[in-house]
């Protein structure tokens, strides 16, 4: 991965987690507006994930927001431009591009993740939250119809009763609640959110990159199915994977496993 890639007037910044790291950090960089998304920012964010998904130098992605919020949603001063006719535009839809991205995405949520920001958080594969993090769905408050998946994803993660209460009352979900309900993987001090997210992403990056991408895909695709069909999907893809391996690749796998068995495991 190359040097920092600023987009949309530096409002979306892409850079390596550390020099030479295979982990890319995407930062929503509009802190004065609590990282509210304009249409150009949405286009740039979608393009960033499209680029990173195709970059062989990138093994995993961290998504963060600069300042006091992860993302406070769509900038409603440009609501008509953002919403009208655009909900089916996959190319400029950041959530759609995150879902299409083959690389694992770790969300670093410090502060508020509101409505569209909540939906962007739900498009991450793993979530690290700061203790001050709050997830809010305000679609019902402002008369905005959800179109980035919140109405369907949240209930599948925390259960339909909790999801109905969160979305219909517009109640905030604190970091503590989010961890208890299985919405986030880790809760840490606010100052450690980005570091922890990078640590998780780097643990992913140390593994077989091709298998990581295939594993993410089979988990996410299988989650859309009932258990019987999801297990059949795993069998089908497993057969395809092993059928495509040569004797040399099997031999290399065995050598790699033998070599790894003598090394200490990571702390994650």
- Specify whether 66 is located in the same domain as 116: yes
Lowest pLDDT segment from 11-15, 169-173, 262-266: 262-266
Domain extent at residue 232: 209-257
- Specify whether 46 is located in the same domain as 125: yes
CA-to-CA distance for 117 and 263, rounded, in angstroms?
Answer: 40
* Helix, strand, coil distribution of the chain in percent, nearest 5: 50, 15, 35
Q: Is the pLDDT of residue 27 over 80?
A: yes
Domain with residue 172: its CATH number is 3.90.226.10
Residue 250: the pLDDT is 79
Q: Is residue 80 part of a domain?
A: yes
- Specify whether 238 is located in the same domain as 197: no
Q: Is residue 266 part of a domain?
A: no
Residue 257: the pLDDT is 78
Q: Is the pLDDT of residue 49 over 80?
A: yes
Q: Is residue 263 part of a domain?
A: no
- Specify whether 235 is located in the same domain as 150: no
Q: Is the pLDDT of residue 173 over 60?
A: yes
What is residue 115's three-state secondary structure?
coil
Residue 7: the pLDDT is 46
Report the pLDDT averaged over residues 210-235.
Answer: 96
Out of 165, 182, 206, pick the residue that ends a domain.
Answer: 206
Residues 6+ apart with CB under 8 A from 61: 23, 24, 25, 26, 49, 52, 101, 103, 104, 105, 106, 201
CA-to-CA distance for 100 and 104, rounded, in angstroms?
Answer: 11
Q: Is residue 1 part of a domain?
A: no
- Specify whether 134 is located in the same domain as 154: yes
- Specify whether 161 is located in the same domain as 188: yes
Q: Is the pLDDT of residue 141 over 50?
A: yes
Report the pLDDT averaged over residues 3-31.
Answer: 85
Nearest residue to 75 (alpha-carbon basis) of 44, 33, 111: 33
Domain with residue 225: its CATH number is 1.10.12
Q: Is the pLDDT of residue 82 over 70?
A: no
- Specify whether 146 is located in the same domain as 242: no
What is the reported pTM?
0.89
The model's pLDDT over 55-65, given as tens digits with 9 standing for 90+, comes to 999 999 999 99
Out of 206, 226, 242, pick the residue that ends a domain.
Answer: 206
Q: Is the pLDDT of residue 8 over 50?
A: no
- Is 205 or 83 the better-scoring residue by pLDDT? 205
Q: Is residue 201 part of a domain?
A: yes
- Specify whether 20 is located in the same domain as 148: yes
Q: Is residue 133 part of a domain?
A: yes
- Specify whether 51 is located in the same domain as 179: yes
Q: Is the pLDDT of residue 262 over 80?
A: no
- Specify whether 123 is located in the same domain as 29: yes
| Cα distances (Å, whole numbers) of residue 172 to 42, 107, 124, 163, 190 | 24, 18, 19, 11, 18
Q: Is the pLDDT of residue 124 over 60?
A: yes
- Specify whether 155 is located in the same domain as 245: no
Q: Is the pLDDT of residue 88 over 80?
A: no
Residue 247: the pLDDT is 83
Average pLDDT over the chain reads 91
Number of independent structural domains in the chain: 2
Residue 34: the pLDDT is 96
Cα within 13 Å of Cα(59), Cβ side: 20
Q: Is residue 127 part of a domain?
A: yes
Report the pLDDT averaged over residues 169-196.
Answer: 98
Q: Is residue 264 part of a domain?
A: no
| Cα distances (Å, whole numbers) of residue 68 to 123, 146, 201, 242 | 21, 24, 22, 47
Report the pLDDT averaged over residues 89-109.
Answer: 95
Report the pLDDT averaged over residues 80-108.
Answer: 84
- Specify whether 40 is located in the same domain as 153: yes
Q: 112 and 175 in contact (C-beta within 8 Å)?
A: no
Residue 228: the pLDDT is 97
Report the pLDDT averaged over residues 158-181.
Answer: 98
């Amino acid at each position: 991965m190359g040097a920092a890639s600023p987009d949309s007037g530096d409002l979306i910044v892409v850079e390596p987690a550390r020099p030479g790291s295979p982990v890319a950090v995407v930062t929503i960089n509009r802190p004065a507006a609590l990282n509210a998304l304009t249409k150009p920012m949405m286009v740039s964010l979608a393009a960033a994930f499209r680029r990173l998904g195709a970059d062989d130098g990138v093994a995993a992605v961290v998504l963060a927001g600069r300042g006091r919020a992860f993302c406070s949603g769509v900038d409603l001063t440009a609501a008509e431009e953002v919403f009208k006719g655009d909900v089916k535009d996959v190319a400029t839809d950041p959530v759609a591009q995150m879902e299409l991205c083959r690389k694992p995405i770790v969300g670093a949520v410090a502060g508020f993740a509101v409505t569209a920001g909540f939906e962007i958080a739900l498009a991450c594969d793993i979530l690290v939250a700061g203790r001050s993090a709050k997830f809010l769905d305000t679609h019902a408050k402002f008369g905005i119809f959800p179109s980035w998946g919140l109405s369907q994803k949240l209930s599948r993660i925390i259960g339909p009763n909790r999801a109905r209460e969160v979305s219909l009352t517009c109640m905030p979900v604190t970091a503590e609640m989010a961890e208890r309900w299985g919405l986030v993987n880790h809760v840490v001090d606010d100052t450690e959110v980005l570091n922890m997210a990078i640590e998780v992403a780097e643990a992913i990056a140390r593994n077989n990159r091709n298998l990581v991408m295939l594993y993410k895909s089979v988990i996410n695709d299988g989650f859309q199915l009932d258990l019987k069909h999801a297990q059949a999907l795993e069998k089908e893809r497993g057969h395809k994977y092993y059928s495509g391996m040569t004797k040399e690749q099997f031999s290399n796998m065995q050598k790699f496993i033998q070599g790894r068995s003598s090394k200490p495991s990571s702390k994650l």
